[in-house]
Amino acid sequence: MAFTPCCSSIGPIPGSIPPGGTATVPVLFKSGTQSGRKCVEFALATDRPEFPEIRLSLTASLLPAWEVEPIGAETHIIPAGSTASQTFRIACRRTSSAGKVGPSEVSISGPFSCRFVDGGDERARPDGIIEATRIVEVTPTSTTEAGHRSGELRFVWPDGTAKTRPIHWEISAHVRANPSSLVVQASDSPTRAIISVTCADRPIRIIRVSGPLLGRRVDPRPGPSMAHTLELSLDASGLGLGGTSEIEIITDHPDQEKVSLRAVVLPSREEVAP
């Protein structure tokens, strides 16, 4: 019988072994999906009183048939407006009977582009495993808007099989507004909101503030500063049933000209009254 891991097996076993003789006992080792060093034990019961049970063990160092790892830092955080790319190394491993050759195609979903930047490399390791590698470059298609980006690298092999690897990227803002969103209740009287606008790398000017909810013109400080305070008068009387709106703050920052505030307008008290 076979012990862990599950589904490993042994046999067929010989009916008998003559004195001084030998026998070959085939075992099936189910490696599973986890890499690392693993061991499975097998037990053979015999009719010899001095050896009622023989224990056999098989130990293997398991390597993934394919894996993708970043070259350099794993963190994908870049300032808004800058250009950047990240390279990944895909390694495929095989023996004469199992494993994977190198992929033939690569594509990506989401706001990214990708391409192979090398022709591939293949070498035989000292343990006899053949390892094929390719280098992939991933570039976000736009970095002007701050926020999180996500997608999936998709590799296709010559036999038509495909595997994916998730990609996550963060575009950090030069200019931030606090709070970044507002909740306003629709009413006949304006709502006052104080917004702090800060810049991380240089003094900036605020050119204008616009949006359908603004009840009156906003006159920002004329000179450049690392921090600005804006007083907004929000008129949501035209949205009695609620909804959403956007307020745009336009700056003179060369890499981030706009900061957007999302305003959620709740229905007026008269609209929600029973």
Percent over 90 (pLDDT), the chain: 36
Q: How many beta carbons lie within 10 A of that of residue 239, not counting itself? A: 20
pLDDT per residue as tens digits for the range 20-53: 888 888 888 877 777 888 888 888 888 888 989 9
Tokens 């590799």 correspond to what residue?
155
pLDDT per residue as tens digits for the range 103-135: 999 999 989 999 999 988 999 989 889 999 999
Six-digit token pair at 162? 């495909």
* Cα 227 to Cα 206: distance, rounded to the nearest angstrom: 10
pLDDT per residue as tens digits for the range 147-179: 888 999 999 999 999 999 999 888 888 899 999
pLDDT, residue 130, reads: 94
pLDDT, residue 240, reads: 52
Q: Does residue 219 have a pLDDT over 90? A: no
pLDDT, residue 74, reads: 63
The domains found in the chain, sorted by start residue, are 9-62 (no CATH), 66-172 (2.60.40), 175-272 (2.60.40.10)
pLDDT, residue 231, reads: 92
pLDDT, residue 31, reads: 75
pLDDT, residue 97, reads: 82
Torsion of CA 111, 116, 122, 127, to 10 degrees: -20
